[in-house]
Amino acid sequence: MLIPKLFTCIKGYSKNQFIKDFTSGIIVAIIAFPLSIALAIASGVSPEKGLYTAIVGGFIVSFLGGSRVQIGGPTGAFVILVYETIHTYGLDGLIISTIIAGIFLLLMGFFRFGSIIKYIPDPITSGFTAGIAITIFSTQIKDFLGLTMNNVPSEFLSKWVAYIKSMPTTNFETLFIGALSLVIVFAWPRINKKIPGTLIAIIVSTLITAIFHLNVETIGSRYGSMSASLPAPTIPHVSLQLIKNLLLPGFTIAVLAAVESLLSAVVADGMVGGKHRSNMELIAQGAANIASVLFGGIPVTGAIARTAANIKNGGRTPVAGIVHSISLLIIMSLFLPYMKLVPMTTLAAILIMVSYNMGEWEVFKRLSKAPKSDTAVFLVTFSLTVFLDLVYAIGIGIVFASLLFMKRMADVSDVKYIFDANEDEDAPEFLAEVTTPYGISFYEINGPFFFGAADKFINVIRETNYSSKVLIVKMSNVPAMDATAYHGLEMLYDMCNKTHTRLIFIGLQPQPENVLRKYGFFDIVGEENFCSSLEEAISRAEELTTTQVHKYSLSISD
């Protein structure tokens, strides 16, 4: 159903619920304010762009979204991809790739791809999430320690080599403020869960730095003044070659946005007992990403942590998300000029905590218990994310997982040939209670019949003794087949035709039947040779063998 949840929830909306949504929206805005700034800086853009993202993108996600309680904004999943895109193609490249991502998301929603996203394997999502967490952590070391470095290498190993060489330049005043901020962010929830620890860390560290005139780099000393109002929409310079270059990053942003937003919506459903509209959510994410970058922001998606905070504070409709965006706009207008006093090491501490929370580190503990194929997919995705590139990590991870899945399906698929069921001791159970006439042999195909398993069938065909008069093929345990499997059946028919062996099929399920009808196989073999039961098939086989004997007798008489 392509109807935003807001339009449904607003029916019967009460004053009491509005108060809860209003309160929750303000609290989430206070949480989102420092996080949005920190994530923007980590992504390689100026601090206010994170706020633009949460305000514009967050508003559209709530207004058009398919979830009652989803909160949209910048997230850690995009940090590395945004940073690399800007580094390679500039800010215009980021805008174009995000618009491309928005178009992909809109198409996913309109073509009802919302349910398909869930088929991305968990080892891939957890692998690149853990990899992103490690990468985000590694990007914050310079600011956390206050290292004096001209350029920080982009590659993971080179970055750490440079850090180690620069350790003698550690600024201990910066390290003290960073460590204090990290302790506050980590410990504050045990004292008060209503007021976010990130806000307390920013206030305390800023006051200490200003009062004692510490030699600590701040947002203002690095970025200068920041605009406290939303910019006018800007259209980037576009070229056909740039669009071609950015198709893959754009698609990756779309996949990340779709996966994270739908995962967040599923988590939210479990917390509130609701059911989100996945396709409408994808459409909202597409529109939000396009609008976000046009208004100076970065990619946006559903934020699990902020969505959970919304639910815990009483938010139950998209009104809370809209209030969150409006509140952020007001907070930005009032307090953004003062953010220039915030130490960079405090934002680094906040992002270190973000990376810790998003890492899903318990996955590493379960690797020894998981199937080897899943472990391999996780480790490949994780390693490629950390050491190579997120785009390649997701692409190669999906291909690798697909190949392993196909192998697994091929392994469970099985083909048996029984030349004489009355004499074969290994004849399957379905032949145990029937008496088969002489001259009838059987094939039994079990499991998905696709290109990965068709090779087994073709090998059995080549080794088959075609001296029998009728060959019955049992396919009642075949849920699906593809074009390669059909080619195998065509080969079987041709071989049987050469030896005057008649073919009968038993128990076709809907999908294989539909495939064979579309290819015209029913007309080739004969509609009457497709039976629903073994008894019907044997009766048809007896009829065919009797006809053959009768024709043979007539030919002798002639």
Domains of the chain: 5-9+23-147+164-402 (no CATH), 413-557 (3.30.750.24)
**445 within 8 A of 550, measured Cβ to Cβ:** no
Q: How many CB atoms lie within 10 A of CB 280?
A: 20
Q: Binning pLDDT at 50, 70 and 90, where does residue 425 land?
A: low
From CA 42, how far away is CA 64, in angstroms rounded? 28
Per-residue CA distances from 153 to 84, 93, 142 (Å): 12, 21, 11
Could you tell me which residue, 550 or 104, shows the higher pLDDT? 104
Cα gap 351→174, rounded to integer Å: 16
- pLDDT of 553 reads 41
Backbone angles phi, psi at 326, to 5 degrees: -65, -40
Give the pair of three-digit tokens for residue 2.
């392509």
Highest mean pLDDT among 12-21, 411-420, 442-451, 492-501: 12-21
C-alpha–C-alpha distance, residues 455 and 413, integer Å: 11
Average pLDDT (123-142) is 91
Residue 179, amino acid? A
pLDDT of residue 61: 97
pLDDT digits (tens, 9 = 90+) for 4-15: 999 999 988 999
pLDDT of amino acid 121 = 85
Q: What is the pLDDT of residues 261-283, one digit of tens each?
A: 998 998 899 899 889 999 999 99
What pLDDT sits at residue 345? Answer: 97
Question: Which of 13-17, 351-355, 389-393, 554-558 is least confident?
Answer: 554-558
* Residue-level pLDDT at 368: 85
Please give the Cα distance from 517 to 344 (Å, whole number): 67
Structural tokens at position 35: 């996080």
Determine the pLDDT at residue 363.
87
CB 484 within 8 A of CB 450: yes
CA 352, 358, 359, 360: dihedral to nearest 10 degrees? 150
What integer pLDDT is reported at residue 551 of this predicted model? 46
- 30-44, 410-424, 455-469 — which one is most confidently predicted on average? 30-44
User: What's the first-to-final CA gap in the chain, in angstroms?
Assistant: 71
What SS3 state is found at 5? helix
pLDDT, position 405: 84
The 3-state DSSP class for residue 19 equals helix
Give the whole-angstrom CA distance, residue 287 versus residue 63: 11
Kindly state the average pLDDT of the residues 128-150. 92
Q: How confident is the model at residue 435 (pLDDT cuts 50, 70, 90)?
A: low
pTM tops 0.75: yes
Give per-residue pLDDT as tens, 85-123: 999 999 999 999 999 999 999 999 999 998 877 678 889
Kindly indicate the confidence band of residue 392, based on its pLDDT and cuts at 50, 70 and 90. confident
What is the pLDDT, as a whole number, of residue 550? 44
Give me the mean pLDDT over the 73-91 stretch: 92
| pLDDT range class, residue 159, cuts 50, 70, 90 | very high
The whole-angstrom separation of Cα 347 and Cα 339 is 11
What's the rounded Cα separation, in Å, for the pair 24 and 170? Answer: 41
CA atoms of 532 and 391, how far apart (whole Å):
49
pLDDT of residue 434: 61
Mean pLDDT (whole number) for 170-175: 97
Could you tell me whether strands 470-477 and 502-506 are parallel, antiparallel, or unpaired per DSSP bridges? parallel
Contacts of 360 (CB under 8 A, 6+ apart): 126, 129, 130, 133
Q: What interhelical angle do 483-498 and 451-462 show, nearest 10?
A: 10
Give the pLDDT confidence score for residue 426 in this predicted structure: 59
**Whole-angstrom distance, CA of residue 236 vs CA of residue 239:** 10
Under a CB-based contact definition with an 8 Å cutoff, are residues 340 and 350 in contact?
no
**Average pLDDT score over residue span 324-351:** 94
